[in-house]
Amino acid sequence: MSEVKSLKVETRSGTGTGAARAVRRSGKVPGVVYGNNLDNDLIALDPGELRRNLQKTGFFATLFDLKIGSKTVRVLPKDVQLHPVSDLPLHADFMRISKDSKIHVNVPVQFTNEPLSPGLKRGGVLNVVRHQIELICSPENIPNVIVVDLSGLEIGDSVHISKINLPANVVPAIADRDFTIATIAAPTAMKGDEEKEQAAAQATAGDAAAPAADAAAPAKPTPEKK
């Protein structure tokens, strides 16, 4: 289960763009807490603390306790809007959760034992198809990361979700197919050699076929002398 962390927030008043801008001018980041059929809580966050947490792996799979006034609310981050140039946070959304909730959460993928992969040792390339996987689970069962063991993988091998040992009561949100997480691809040089070999084989086959075709062709008749 992910560690529950604390995040300092302040209550704020006013809704809409104007109110949000006023919060930013004061040096804070506006945010909202919603869910559980309750009214939204409007909050303001310290931008430095929010950025430090946002930069950590698995931020959107981490539970936070927010002290809002006299109450403590357990939430899951759902969205953080960033400035298109400076990447500074502009707004943050958090969803209230309870222990009986079933939530969708994106959990980061972590790869281990790369030195134990024969394919990577031979120069193969780890092609990551999914850097995170959406899971359905209860808040108590959110895994910190999804670990993918690369031991024994050869060039051309793939890792599918069916090969991952997920915690109890945790299932992938995509249930209609055994999707790929990563593959061990051939290095560019090896691909080039294979293509050259195939081209050479095709040329050799073509050269061998040409004399046979000439032999099979009917001889031209000798013109009669007049």
Q: Is there a domain that residue 38 lies in? A: yes
Residues 10, 68: Cα–Cα separation, whole Å: 7
With vertex at residue 163, the alpha carbon angle to CA 162 and CA 169, rounded to the nearest 5 degrees, is 60
Could you tell me what percent of the chain has a pLDDT over 70?
82
Query: Are 130 and 90 in the same domain?
Result: no
Q: What is the pLDDT of residues 174-206, one digit of tens each?
A: 999 999 999 999 987 555 555 555 655 565 555
* Residue 52 falls inside a structural domain: yes
Q: What is the pLDDT of residues 126-169, one digit of tens each?
A: 999 999 999 999 988 899 899 999 999 999 999 999 999 998 88
Contact in structure between 152 and 116 (CB atoms under 8 Å): yes
pLDDT tier, 69 (very low <50, low <70, confident <90, very high otherwise):
confident
Residues 133 and 167 in one domain: yes
What long-range pairs does 46-54 form, CB within 8 A, spacing at least 24? 46/8, 47/88, 47/89, 49/7, 49/8, 50/7, 50/80, 50/89, 50/92, 51/88, 51/89, 53/5, 53/7, 54/80, 54/89
The answer to whether residue 61 sits within a structural domain is yes
CATH number, domain containing residue 184: 2.170.120.20
Q: Is residue 57 part of a domain?
A: yes
Q: Is residue 201 part of a domain?
A: no
CA distance 90 to 78: 14
Does a structural domain hold residue 225? no
Domain extent, residue 154, equals 104-188
Residues 172 and 151 placed together within one structural domain of the fold: yes
Separation between Cα atoms, residue 53 and residue 32, nearest integer Å: 17
Residues 133 and 156 in one domain: yes
Position 159 in a domain: yes
Residue 9 is part of a domain; what is its CATH number? 2.40.240.10
94 and 9 within one domain: yes
| Number of separate domains in the chain | 2
* pLDDT per residue as tens digits for the range 5-21: 999 899 998 888 888 99
Query: Where does residue 131 rank: exposed (0-12), middle (13-18), buried (19+ CB within 10 A)?
Result: exposed
Residue 37 in any domain: the answer is yes
Query: What pTM, to 2 d.p., does this model score?
Result: 0.72
